[in-house]
Amino acid sequence: MNLNHKTIFITGGASGIGRECVAAYLCAGARVGVLDRDENALNELKTQFGGDELLTLQGDVRQKEDIKTAIEQTVTAFGSLHVIHNNAGIASPSKPLDQTSDDEWDSLFEINLKSVYYTTKYGLEYLKQTRGNILNTSSMVGEIGQENHAAYVAAKGGMNALTKAMALDYAPFGIRVNAVCPAGVWTPMLRKWAGEQPNANEIEQYLDDIHPLGDCPEGDVIADVAVFLVSDAARFVTGCIMPVSGGAELGYRR
Ligand SMILES: NC(=O)c1ccc[n+]([C@@H]2O[C@H](COP(=O)([O-])OP(=O)(O)OC[C@H]3O[C@@H](n4cnc5c(N)ncnc54)[C@H](O)[C@@H]3O)[C@@H](O)[C@H]2O)c1
């Protein structure tokens, strides 16, 4: 699963799952452009991984100009684009639909789903040149649902459906489109989310218990699968909604 000579553009790559993916992509030989809104986390990333193979770009995936500029800077720096990894996302609010405000709905959809529209608009022509691929960080809940997370579940369900639609639309160009679906992964987002839950003191145990294969993992389990899906080893895989969930979705629940 060699990523030598591949250029990867990833959103939300400064922390959590995205950061683990950046580390794994660099380790596999890729050149990586990272768009994230968190300047401090980007600086830490640069300090830790440094080198000419990493380009950090501060911006907000809600702003189409930020995405356009970041993709163009990545191509200018590295000369090509082989992979777009749509990873940026937020988990809040933890609410059913009727309690979700206009702003909460719009913000979640802009970050978690509309950003895919912009990265595709501004990146597709480059991917056509390389017969590249797109990877979306989605979620198991987009397939199985989750109580109290209506907007998040809707956006991730939309992302899974969109992954299949894009896989069909772009297959004629040799462009693959896949999604990776975690259940729980310990990241800054999950820690923030855990603190917001009504049963915050029980949540760590709950997160361990939902994964039949064992404890709630760290982001490396997602990164390893991401490296496979964006590599040529997965050259005949497209439209795949790949669970990386330790079996969390399996079996009867109650
Ligand atoms: N952690 C989990 O348990 C889990 C489970 C399923 C799916 N996911 C998905 O994985 C992805 C990454 O989540 P994570 O847990 O690593 O979160 P995280 O908060 O640790 O990292 C997300 C990164 O995205 C960046 N980001 C957020 N909004 C942005 C914006 N508007 N513009 C640019 N950058 C922005 C943040 O600055 C951060 O660096 C998300 O799409 C999330 O929905 C996470």
Distance between CA atoms of 85 and 12, rounded to whole angstroms?
9
Distance between CA atoms of 102 and 98, rounded to whole angstroms?
10
Say what the pLDDT of residue 201 is: 82
Q: Is 101 contained in some domain?
A: yes
**Residue 128 corresponds to which tokens in the numbers above?**
């056509």
Q: Is the CB of 16 under 6 A from ligand 1?
A: yes
**Residue 192 corresponds to which tokens in the numbers above?**
């923030």
pLDDT along the chain (254 residues), means of 10: 93 98 98 98 96 97 98 98 98 96 98 98 98 98 97 98 98 98 95 85 91 96 98 98 97 83
Distance between CA atoms of 35 and 58, rounded to whole angstroms?
6
For the question of residue 152 being annotated catalytic, the response is yes
Query: Under DSSP, is residue 65 helix (H, G, I), strand (E, B) or coil?
Result: helix
The one catalytic residue among 25, 122, 152, 170: 152
C-alpha closest to that of 38 among 56, 65, 50, 20: 56
Residue 42 maps to which CATH number?
3.40.50.720
- The total number of structural domains in the chain stands at 1
Q: Is the CB of 66 under 6 A from ligand 1?
A: no
Q: Is 16 contained in some domain?
A: yes
Cis peptide before 212 (omega within 30 of 0): no
Distance between CA atoms of 254 and 104, rounded to whole angstroms?
31
C-alpha closest to that of 170 among 136, 122, 227, 120: 120
Q: Is 68 contained in some domain?
A: yes
Q: How far is the CA of 99 from the centre of ligand 1 (A)?
A: 23
Which atom of ligand 1 lies nearest, measured to the CA of 192? Answer: 19
Task: Report yes or no: 179 and 242 within 8 Å, Cβ to Cβ.
Answer: yes
What are the beta bridge partners of residue 55?
33
Q: How far is the CA of 172 from the centre of ligand 1 (A)?
A: 31
Say what the pLDDT of residue 146 is: 96
Say what the pLDDT of residue 61 is: 98
Which atom of ligand 1 lies nearest, measured to the CA of 60? Answer: 32
Q: Is 201 contained in some domain?
A: no
Q: Is 106 contained in some domain?
A: yes
Q: φ and ψ at 34, to 5 degrees?
A: -115, 120
| Alpha-carbon distance values, 54 to 25, 112, 189 (Å) | 10, 24, 23
Q: Is 54 contained in some domain?
A: yes
Task: Report yes or no: 24 and 224 within 8 Å, Cβ to Cβ.
Answer: yes
Say what the pLDDT of residue 148 is: 94
Task: Report yes or no: 28 and 1 within 8 Å, Cβ to Cβ.
Answer: yes
Q: How far is the CA of 247 from the centre of ligand 1 (A)?
A: 21
Q: Is 40 contained in some domain?
A: yes
Q: Is 39 contained in some domain?
A: yes
Say what the pLDDT of residue 1 is: 62
Q: φ and ψ at 95, to 5 degrees?
A: -150, 150
Q: φ and ψ at 218, to 5 degrees?
A: -95, 175
Q: Is the CB of 139 under 6 A from ligand 1?
A: yes
Domain with 134, as residue range(s), is 7-184+219-241
Q: Which of 19, 136, 153, 187 to mutate to test the pocket of ligand 1 (most atoms within 8 A of CB)?
A: 187
| Alpha-carbon distance values, 136 to 123, 206, 228, 240 (Å) | 14, 26, 13, 10
Q: How far is the CA of 176 from the centre of ligand 1 (A)?
A: 23
